Amino acid sequence: MISSSEHSVFVVGGALVVVAGLVLQGIYTLRTGLLLAFFLRPSRAAALPLKLLHRVALAGLDLASAAAILAALSKLAQRHHVRLDVLAGWMGSHAGALVVSCLSVGTGLWLVLCPATMVGWLQEYHPGIAAGGSAMVSLILRFCGALAVACGLLILLSYLR
């Protein structure tokens, strides 16, 4: 079973990952003017940059959300007397498993939701592959993605026990 202090460390760690993602997305939107996620490569049709006012407004929304999460975390830490050394110690001792599980779940979700992206990458490096891919290739990639998500979640759950 997971103790309450380990549970709170996991929640705070997850919230800090969300804050980092929101800050990166806000900066990316402000710099490029694109609404796509910062880790996706835009296609030429979808890469219409926003005007400066829209950039500032959307980036401000992401950055304000990140600031609100940090403010809520600091308020909760003060109320429940959570020490930073406990969080740092837990994250340090489980860093490898956390990184592997997050990468596995992220890659798996990407393969399940967008298998055509992987086929496109393969076509860039191996031009002999048929354009568009087949339904069987898409099915295999989705199955591999679901397997990666399951493995990532099992790794994460095994460390949360």
In this structure, the answer to whether residues 87 and 98 fall within a common structural domain is: no
pTM: 0.52
Range(s) of the domain holding residue 4:
1-93
CB proximity list for 52: less than 8 A, separation 6 or greater: 33
Residues 108 and 148 sit within 8 Å (Cβ to Cβ): yes
Cα maximum dimension of the chain: 61
Query: Using 50, 70 and 90 to split pLDDT, how confident is the model at 1?
Result: very low
Q: Which of 41, 71, 93 is the last residue of a domain?
A: 93
How buried is residue 130: exposed, middle or buried, by Cβ count under 10 Å (0-12/13-18/19+)? exposed
Give the integer Cα–Cα distance in Å for 34 and 50: 6
In this structure, the answer to whether residues 34 and 6 fall within a common structural domain is: yes
In this structure, the answer to whether residues 15 and 89 fall within a common structural domain is: yes
Question: What domain count does the chain have?
Answer: 2
In this structure, the answer to whether residues 158 and 98 fall within a common structural domain is: yes
Q: Which tens digits make up the pLDDT trace of 80-100?
A: 776 667 666 766 777 777 777
In this structure, the answer to whether residues 109 and 89 fall within a common structural domain is: no
